[in-house]
Amino acid sequence: MAILEVRNLSKSFDKLEVLKDISFDVEKGEVVAIIGPSGSGKSTLLRCINQLEKASGGSVKVCGLDMIEGYKNGKPVYSPADVLREIRLKIGLVFQNFNLFPHMSVLKNITEAPMCVLKKSKQEAEETAKVLLEKMGLASKAGSYPCELSGGQQQRVSIARALALNPEVLFFDEPTSALDPELTGEILKVIKELAKEKMTMVIVTHEMAFARDVADHVIFMDGGVIVEEGTPEQVFGDTKNERTKQFLQRYNNDFKD
Amino acid sequence: MTWEEILQCTEVIARYLIPTLKIFGFTLLFSIPLGMVVALLKMCKFKPVSWLINVYILIMRGTPLMLQIITIYYAIPMMKVSDSAFLQNLFAGVDIKSESYQFNALIVAFALNYAAYFAEIFRGGIESIPKGQYEAAAALGMTKGQTFFRVVLPQVIKRIVPASSNEVITLVKDTSLASVIAYAEIFRKAKEQMVSYSNLTPLFIAGIFYFIMNAILTTVFAAVEKKLDYYK
Ligand SMILES: Nc1ncnc2c1ncn2[C@@H]1O[C@H](COP(=O)(O)OP(=O)(O)OP(=O)(O)O)[C@@H](O)[C@H]1O
Ligand SMILES: [Mg+2]
């Protein structure tokens, strides 16, 4: 069964159509990279699936659960709150600018949701958090506050925070874009580790080499539509699509500058 | 004034510390929660509500507190002697001769006035919390209530402490406005003594009382700020 099934998803902000007829699947254990120029709707796509934005049309299924129940007067009717909540807990989200809770220690950031959402005991939540911090190479930072950490460390904490809820799939929205270039490596390494463990992931990224390296499936978006998708070899190797070619070329040039 | 007179005078004024502190305490007790409600109503998406709240805040901040105290204090007595039977009976149950009426009118005026200032501070604090904090909490499955009380509010408190401490210190001094409706508190007593002794020293003594109260509050607020300084 697919973890995620997106069908004909569309999204408009007032008159502005940002997503048009987006369809794709994510299978268990698969790593999907979404690439595309700025403003193409990549973040909006993740946010619609994560219920941070309301979709305008189409359907989203997460682990067999329907996010949208049906339609009334052409407007989507969302499923009951408990279903939406269940869906939400199946998806972890890592933000570009971390969005850690500044008033909570690193440990508390990670245990907060397991304790107040999943009602886990403090002890159980802290044990899980410590294992995750160990894995992120941050065991010694449990008592620190986010403001005392580097951007790369903060992002690793936010990955641990998302993993603490044991999600079925992890979304990343440009996880390295807010980082100094010398810090992106540590995040990419963590994501690669997760890929090795067969964590299902959807990653929006501008790191083309990384996308090529880590993804099983690449989606190229432009102007709110999926222009092309396929294996990294197909998309990066010998795309037949003119727009993809142009985009990748511009990227290669940017890197040479 | 002789030293003996000064001492006596200090004693008299000190006895009225309690009424002053009562205005101070009750005003905070009512204006802070009310300010919170007003702040939330002002952020309400339903326009007529936020518009009404805006008018209320404009009036409270735009006119003198002294005027508001007098207006509220005399409003009910005036209604009782008005021509309209409706107005006469509106506050039929309120006994304007009772001792508590004066104090209650004061607290209503102070609380309404300070709630407007606190509301603006709270609203500024709430609106300064980045959208990302709400989104992170939502993505983690936290409810709206959990998000507000566990994520937003603690950060708001840290941000509003400096501005709130200004209000609280101003309130200590504003309690002296209660004297305008002859409420017996420090300032009124000091003024009486000033007149009877024909000497400014009683006012100076009252000043020292206000100063000490605010010195204590300033120290407390500095400690609170320091305590909340464990994160940026
Ligand atoms: N809340 C919003 N209200 C109105 N328009 C929005 C909103 N959010 C996004 N948009 C618009 O939707 C379009 C797609 O934005 P989106 O952030 O999804 O692009 P993106 O592919 O993630 O770009 P980037 O690579 O810069 O992050 C843009 O034109 C943007 O201006
Ligand atoms: Mg984006």
Output the six-digit token pair for A245: 């070619």
pTM of the model: 0.88
Q: What is the mean pLDDT of chain A?
A: 94
Q: How far apart are CA B32 and CA B29, in angstroms?
A: 6
DSSP track, A78-124: EPPHHHHHHHHHHEEEE-TT----TTS-HHHHHHHHHHHTS---HHH
Output the six-digit token pair for B216: 């204590």
Task: Please name which of A39, A148, A205, A158 lies closest in space to residue B132, comparing C-alpha atoms.
Answer: A158
Spell A168-192 as b/e; 16+ CB within 10 A means b: bbbbbbbbbeebeeebbebbbebbe
Report percent pLDDT > 90 for chain A. Answer: 90
Q: What is the mean pLDDT of each run of 10 residues along chain B (232 residues)?
A: 92 95 98 95 93 96 97 90 84 82 96 97 96 97 95 95 96 97 94 94 96 97 94 87
Residues in A touching B161 (Cβ below 8 Å): none
- Phi, psi (degrees; rounded to nearest 5) at B93: -75, -10
Is the pLDDT at A256 greater than 60? The verdict is: no
The 10s digit of each residue's pLDDT in A107-117 is: 999 999 999 99
pLDDT, residue A237, reads 87
In a mutational test of the B interface, the residue from A88, A99, A161, A174 whose CB has the highest number of chain B CBs within 10 Å is A99
ipTM computed for the complex: 0.94
pLDDT, residue A239, reads 84
CA of A117 to the centre of ligand 2 (A): 27
Output the six-digit token pair for A193: 């580790």
Own/partner pairs, A228-237, CB within 8 angstroms, 24+ separation: A229/A24, A232/A33, A236/A208, A236/A211, A236/A212
* SS3 label, residue A57: strand
In the structure, what pLDDT confidence band is assigned to residue A254 with cuts at 50, 70 and 90? low
- Phi, psi (degrees; rounded to nearest 5) at A171: -100, 140
Q: Are A125 and A115 in contact (CB under 8 A)?
A: yes
Instruction: Please name which ligand lies nearest the alpha carbon of A45.
Output: 1
Output the six-digit token pair for B210: 């206000």
DSSP track, A190-212: HHHHHHHTT-EEEEE-S-HHHHH
* SS3 label, residue B101: helix
Chain B nearest-CA distance from A123, in A, is 19
Task: Please name which of B72, B137, B78 lies closest in space to residue B110, comparing C-alpha atoms.
Answer: B72
Q: How far apart are CA B42 and CA B54, in angstroms?
A: 7
The 10s digit of each residue's pLDDT in A54-86 is: 999 999 999 999 999 999 998 999 999 999 999
The 10s digit of each residue's pLDDT in A222-250 is: 999 999 999 999 999 888 888 998 898 88
Out of A15, A38, A44, A225, mutate this one to test ligand 1's pocket (max ligand atoms within 8 Å of CB): namely A44
Residues in B touching A145 (Cβ below 8 Å): 230-231
Which residue stretches of chain B are H helix?
3-15, 17-42, 47-62, 65-80, 85-90, 99-127, 131-139, 144-146, 153-174, 186-197, 201-227
A104-108, A137-141, A249-253: least confidently modelled range: A249-253
pLDDT, residue A255, reads 57
Tell me the sheet residues that pair with A200. A169
In the structure, what pLDDT confidence band is assigned to residue A257 with cuts at 50, 70 and 90? very low
Q: Are A247 and A241 in contact (CB under 8 A)?
A: no
Output the six-digit token pair for B103: 């104090």
CA of A109 to the centre of ligand 2 (A): 24
Is there an atom of ligand 1 within 6 Å of A52 CB? Answer: no
